[in-house]
Amino acid sequence: MLPKEAWALIQQQPEALFVDVRMEIESLYVGRPPGVHNIPWYEYPDLTPDPEGFAAAVAREAGRKDRTVLLICRSGKRTVAAAHALEAAGFTDVINVLHGFEGELNDHFHRSTLNGWRFDQLPWEQM
| pLDDT on residue 79 | 97
Distance between CA atoms of residues 125 and 49, nearest Å: 26
H or E element that contains 121: none
| pLDDT on residue 127 | 81
Evaluate if pTM is beyond 0.85.
yes
Q: Which CATH number fits the domain that encloses residue 61?
A: 3.40.250.10
Instruction: Answer yes or no: is 39 within a domain.
Output: yes
The one-letter amino acid at 121: Q
Structure-model confidence comparison of residues 17 and 46, the more confident one? 17
Overall domain count for the chain = 1
- Identify the domain containing residue 43 by its residue range: 3-96
Mean pLDDT estimate for the chain:
95
Integer CA distances (angstroms), 63 to 16, 17, 55, 67, 116, in order: 11, 10, 12, 8, 29
